[in-house]
């Protein structure tokens, strides 16, 4: 997880590595470093969607090129969700199954889709390529990722071509699956609203609750929260945290 201000613009990212704890951490850190270094060279952005697309390609190539101490391919990957805010305009990019939510007027909406096997199954069921029986049979593998950074050629990437217009008071949440697989959407929303504007505290609370009440064998959790308070970035509320989830 990382974020940075560029004048009145904001760039934030959450990555969730895979390939074993150490390899996954290396992959996610490499992806974040690649994004931030590229952003430092490109700011201010003239074409945010094009920047996000090129950034994803660079991140994928870098992660795919990583080697272990034996000089062999690291065989690791990472998800990524990225947001760029300029003025009241929000642009985002997503690869993998980390998510972006927007909370407005006490309603939380997921704006990304997980790039997993279930997505392919649902598309195949919808167009008649498979039967309901085949769908149910294959559903055991539904959470397997079909696109992530490090594949050396992105299979799937979602990004905004037109900006999403933020309203004062909107909250943007970026998170790894360690959060949304541990807590229900309404639980996440309630915790964010109860903690109000103290987003560093909110990030701590979300991760603590995920660690305590996690519903599955998850190894880590990353959260980034941004509250839009108007055109000037100095009024924006930001908080984030990454932590390991250890089973007791």
DSSP state string for 147-175: --BTSSS-S--EE-SSPEEP-TT-EEEEE
> Which is more confidently placed, 26 or 123?
26
pLDDT of residue 219: 66
CA 90 to mean position of chain CA atoms: 15
Average pLDDT over residues 144-153: 94
pLDDT of residue 160: 96
Task: Give 8: exposed, middle or buried? Use CB within 10 Å, 0-12, 13-18, 19+.
Answer: middle
Question: Which domains, ranges and CATH numbers included, belong to the chain?
Answer: 2-244 (3.60.40.10)
As a whole number of angstroms, the distance between CA 101 and CA 32 comes to 20
Average pLDDT over residues 125-152: 90
| Whether residue 247 has pLDDT greater than 50 | no
- Distances in whole angstroms, Cα of residue 179 to Cα of each of 51, 85, 167, 176, 196: 28, 23, 25, 6, 19
pLDDT of residue 246: 39
Q: Which of 75, 96, 105 is nearest to 175 (CA)?
A: 96
| Whether residue 139 has pLDDT greater than 90 | no
pLDDT of residue 45: 96
Average pLDDT over residues 231-247: 57
Q: Could you tell me the sign of the dihedral formed by the alpha carbons of 108, 186, 3, 154, in that order? A: negative
């Amino acid at each position: 997880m990382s974020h940075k201000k560029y004048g009145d613009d904001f760039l934030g990212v959450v990555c969730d590595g895979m390939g074993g704890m150490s390899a996954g951490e290396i992959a996610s850190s490499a992806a974040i470093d690649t994004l931030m270094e590229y952003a430092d060279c490109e700011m201010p952005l003239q074409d945010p969607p094009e920047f996000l697309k090129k950034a994803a390609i660079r991140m994928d190539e870098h992660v795919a090129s990583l080697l272990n101490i034996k000089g062999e391919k690291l065989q690791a990957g990472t998800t990524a969700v990225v947001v760029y805010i300029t003025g009241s305009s929000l642009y985002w990019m997503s690869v993998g199954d980390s998510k972006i939510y927007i909370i407005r007027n006490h309603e939380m909406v997921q704006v990304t889709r997980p790039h997993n096997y279930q997505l392919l199954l649902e598309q195949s069921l919808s167009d008649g390529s498979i039967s309901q029986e085949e769908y149910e049979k294959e559903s055991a593998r539904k959470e397997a990722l079909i696109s992530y950074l490090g594949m050396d050629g992105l299979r799937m990437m979602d990004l905004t071509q037109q900006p999403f217009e933020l309203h004062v008071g909107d909250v943007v949440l970026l998170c790894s699956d360690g959060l949304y697989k541990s807590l229900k959407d309404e639980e996440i929303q309630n915790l964010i609203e109860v903690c109000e504007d103290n987003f560093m505290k909110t990030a701590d609370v979300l991760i603590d609750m995920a660690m305590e009440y996690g519903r599955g064998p998850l190894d880590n959790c990353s959260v980034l929260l941004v509250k839009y308070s108007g055109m000037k970035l100095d009024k924006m509320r930001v908080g984030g945290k990454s932590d390991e989830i250890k089973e007791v």
